[in-house]
Amino acid sequence: GDSVTQMEGPVTLSEEAFLTINCTYTATGYPSLFWYVQYPGEGLQLLLKATKADDKGSNKGFEATYRKETTSFHLEKGSVQVSDSAVYFCALSDRGSSNTGKLIFGQGTTLQVKP
């Protein structure tokens, strides 16, 4: 079945460091890909998305490019801030034959940014 694999955390960085969180997926169809962020005590918020190969999603300085050839959707940010400390989830939605809109989530990666 469809699945999403993220790099294990926690990831600890100093402020202004470069961030990469790896995400790879397996899907039988042609999925849409998403990154969600969860701040402490809150629900998940959509961070960015991409719906076809080579699309780049971007928001708040974060970027991710849909790479069909490597089945990847790595999250990057050039300079992290303390306020970026959160849990990040990679997810896919595969239309398939049922077109349910279900999201398949990775296990989440905790990012901690230190001043």
Partner 1 sequence: DARVTQTPRHKVTEMGQEVTMRCQPILGHNTVFWYRQTMMQGLELLAYFRNRAPLDDSGMPKDRFSAEMPDATLATLKIQPSEPRDSAVYFCASGLLNWPNMPQHFGDGTRLSIL
Work out whether 109 is an interface residue with partner 1 (CB under 8 A): no
Work out whether 9 is an interface residue with partner 1 (CB under 8 A): no
Q: Which of residues 44-83 bind partner 1 (CB under 8 A)?
A: 44-46, 49, 51-52
d(CA 67, CA 106): 17
d(CA 37, CA 72): 18
Pick one of 20, 28, 79, 99: the residue that binds partner 1 (CB under 8 A).
99
SS3 108: coil
Shortest Å, Cβ 85 to partner 1:
18
| Residue of 25, 10, 9 whose CA lies nearest to 103 | 25
Cis ω on the peptide bond leading into residue 115 (within 30° of 0)?
no
In the complex, which residues of this chain contact partner 1 (CB under 8 A)?
32, 34, 36, 41-46, 49, 51-52, 89, 93, 95, 99-103, 105, 107-108
